[in-house]
Amino acid sequence: MKIKKAFTLAEVLITLAIIGIVAVVTIPTLVQKYKEQVTVTKVKKAYAVLTNAMQMAIIENGTLDTWGFDGTYEDEEGNTQISQEGSAKFARIFSKYLNKSTICEGNMDCIGGYDQKVMNGDDYTIEAQGAYAIILNDGTGVAFTPWYNGAVCENRANACGSITIYTDLGKTAQYGVNTFTFYAYKDRIVPFGYRGQTGDNSFEEKCKYNGGNFENGLACTGWVIEIGNMEYLRCGDLSWDGKHKCNE
């Protein structure tokens, strides 16, 4: 007589409980990592698209220092403001070489307005107002901010302005999470916080885990482009030539 072996009900229930506990612990992490990788892909794609648009714009219009747009200025109360005319001119030339679906001139309402946060969740108050923004066909928001023109940014060491992308327009803009900024030099686009950048806008200064800098997260763009992850959201001991992941 052969005896058939099988799991008891208690053993099955214990196994299911263990599987459930493992799922509760691991699935949120896996989902978060997946969302981050989607963001990384969007940032890299936007960088490639903007770089290509820059090259085409330069061929037909010359380098940015010759475009003649006004930069930022101080109003009567001493607040820094973005020249709406300058921002519009900056963006109009650039946007000819982008596949866009929506244009907002003189405001950023179509990409969430001015309500933004830094990486640790603190509010970030944008002093300068009036940026020209567009939404690309893939749903990425892009804002153009002129800084200088002519002789100032003719020097290749000085940026003519900045270009900021918004990867998730359905959520509050947050630097280093869904909002990433690039320098617009006269002949190239460079991510904030690029490898080798020193000073106030370096990765070490403005992409800090739980950092309190008023622009924390602004300099995470370079890391996302080159390293290809967002591990800086979970630990603070990452470095260009050292750890690239928290669990290394």
- The span from the CA of 173 to the CA of 180, in Å, is 9
Give whole-number Cα distances, 150 to 70, 114, 135, 207, in Å.
Answer: 9, 28, 28, 31
- The span from the CA of 237 to the CA of 147, in Å, is 33
Q: Is the pLDDT of residue 181 over 80?
A: yes
Strands (E), 3-86: 73-74, 80-81
pLDDT tens track for 210-235: 887 888 999 999 999 999 999 999 99
178 in a structural domain:
yes
pTM score, two decimals?
A: 0.84
pLDDT tens track for 124-148: 766 555 578 889 999 999 999 888 8
67 in a structural domain:
yes
Among all chains, which residue has been given the structure tokens 């219009």? 61
Number of helices (H), then strands (E), in the chain: 5, 11
Q: What is the mean pLDDT of the chain?
A: 85
45 in a structural domain:
yes
Domain containing residue 95: 9-233
245 in a structural domain:
no
Angle, vertex CA 166, rays to CA 144 and CA 209, nearest 5:
110
Tokens (6 digits) for 44: 């890299």
Q: What's the total number of domains in the chain? A: 1
62 in a structural domain:
yes
pLDDT: which is higher, 77 or 185: 185
